[in-house]
A and B are shown apart, each in its own frame.
Chain A
């Protein structure tokens, strides 16, 4: 096919060079000019669509099923009703009408604060513990049965102990966060310490670095990516647990708010809360992944 086409083009060129050139030049000239800029943005657009379209379909599917379920059940508010309620709710997220009636912003912030405090204490205890367990086999064997025993326990089982010890709801909730955050922190840090490449430790030995230098220049940077994984897992679990803990303890917080709205039978607010909890969790996860990316070294 192409051979025939070539012959057809060649033949008139030889016979009548001038008019054919004049005719041929404008014909192929705009072609590459058109093709080049047209395909490049076109491809980029296709690339963007390839990334954007599937998630949009996913969201649409979710909303569709939700709307169907809402119509069928009658009790559950549909997307439209929820949207109207959300617009009203987010118009004033930071109002304060006494301790039991505050804006959703305050509720989210106080939950985040609890997570922050509980997680902070867990990091303070868990990271040094992880270093000890990773560095000394004896410590590792000593704590292994304790950790294996306590780790599978639901953090909420610790809530009554917290209530008993602290005599107040707020520190008890924080205590639950502490308990659920500490295990991933210890285990990941310990694993990181154990996985520091022997080469790096040999370098330290050959250079004769002091113990302080070994920790700051070799151990800490080598363990940091593992530690950040531990932190990410901890915060993820903490955010899961805080909602349940607050339902039990009350006060200000997104978990309590969900329970309160259930008692008020404002189901559309519960649906909004589910979205808010999900989005906050997603943002936390993304932030920590970004930090982890910053501190991951390509070692090869």
Chain B
């Protein structure tokens, strides 16, 4: 498996009023094609900062990030992002929101009917075809996040970045969307980097769980490889001792080695 993303010795410092603040240091990570990697850690550990660096929304103060061998110098449609708060544009219908990205990526090569078919297929994939012509304020939070995911997948990105995509949802909706995401990832073979603070979510979805130490100056603490075969079924895994072991390993790291004084 060749790596899509190479992160080499990356550090990030911010200048604040009270001097320099080191958010990240010495980050080295490769993400291979078709791999699902989650970043987990206590809040303030810089996992979103790392994701923003891969997205190109911010640039590192030291080190290099490469995507397909080229340096990441800014955001690009080959690295689609699903934001925590869905970030749908409220003045556009769900269809138009998804179309915005599709048009940008495929607009030059393909005609309007083909573009529309792509949008419809993406909405169909997340089971939101019925809400195509609704506005974001007319649908629920879980549905909005589905549209956000559809928008990202419809662009057929090389890499999908997700910043706590289900963080704002209730537990039941979150579980439903995790299962759906698992299905979509299996269907598309997408490469995903996802930030989460939900241990079950990390074990259920990832091939590798990257656990980060507490900030400031956070870095990668340990990496757990999740060798559960896919497709993964939530109910079956609930009785699987390996699932419990992986879970325990992450909890061990988060609550014994990196316990944060709350």
A interface list, Cβ under 8 A from B = 199-200, 202-203, 205-209, 213, 217-218, 221-222, 297-300
Give B contacts to A, CB under 8 Å. Answer: 55, 57, 74-77, 79-81, 83, 85, 87, 89-92, 100-101, 104, 135-137, 155
Q: Complex Cα distance A184/B243, Å? A: 61
User: Which one of B76, B83, B85, B87 contacts A208 once the chains associate, using CB atoms below 8 Å?
Assistant: B76
Known: A202-B57, A205-B57, A300-B137. A221 touches B75 (CB 8 A): no
List of 8 A-B pairs having minimum Cβ-Cβ separation, nearest first: A297-B90, A298-B137, A221-B91, A199-B87, A299-B90, A205-B75, A206-B81, A206-B75
CB-defined contacts of A299 to chain B, threshold 8 Å: 90, 136-137
Contact of B101 among A200, A207, A218 (CB under 8 A): A207
Bound-state Cα–Cα, A200 to B104, Å? 16
Q: Is the CB of A203 within 8 A of B87?
A: yes
Q: Residues of B contacting A208 with CB < 8 Å?
A: 75-77, 104
CB distance from A105 to the nearest CB of B (A): 39
Choice from B57, B81, B89 contacting A221 with Cβ under 8 Å: B89
Q: Which residue of A lies closest to B103 (CB)?
A: A213
Alpha-carbon distance between A218 and B100 when the two chains are bound, in angstroms:
11
Which residues of chain B are within 8 angstroms of A200 by Cβ–Cβ distance? Answer: 87, 89
B77: nearest chain-A partner, CB-CB: A208
Determine whether the beta carbon of A297 is less than 8 Å from that of B137: yes
Question: Which of B85, B89, B90 is the one whose CB lies under 8 Å from A217?
Answer: B89
| A188 → chain B closest CB, angstroms | 18
- Measured between beta carbons, the chain B residues less than 8 angstroms from A297 are 90-91, 135, 137
Asked whether B90 lies within 8 Å of A298 as measured between CB atoms, the reply is yes
B87 touches which of A202, A209, A217, A298 (Cβ 8 Å): A202
- Contact sample, A vs B, 15 pairs, CB 8 Å cutoff: A203-B83, A205-B57, A206-B57, A206-B77, A207-B100, A208-B75, A208-B104, A209-B104, A218-B89, A221-B91, A297-B90, A297-B135, A297-B137, A298-B137, A299-B136
Bound Cα distance from A298 to B91, whole angstroms: 9
Closest residue of chain A to B144 (Cβ to Cβ) is A300
Q: Which of B85, B100, B135, B136 contacts A209 (CB 8 A)?
A: B100
Report Cα–Cα, A217/B90, bound state, in Å: 11
Residue of A nearest to B102 (CB): A207
Known: A202-B57, A217-B92, A217-B100. 16 other contacts (CB 8 A): A199-B83, A205-B57, A206-B79, A207-B100, A207-B101, A207-B155, A208-B77, A209-B104, A213-B104, A218-B89, A222-B91, A297-B90, A297-B135, A297-B137, A298-B90, A299-B90
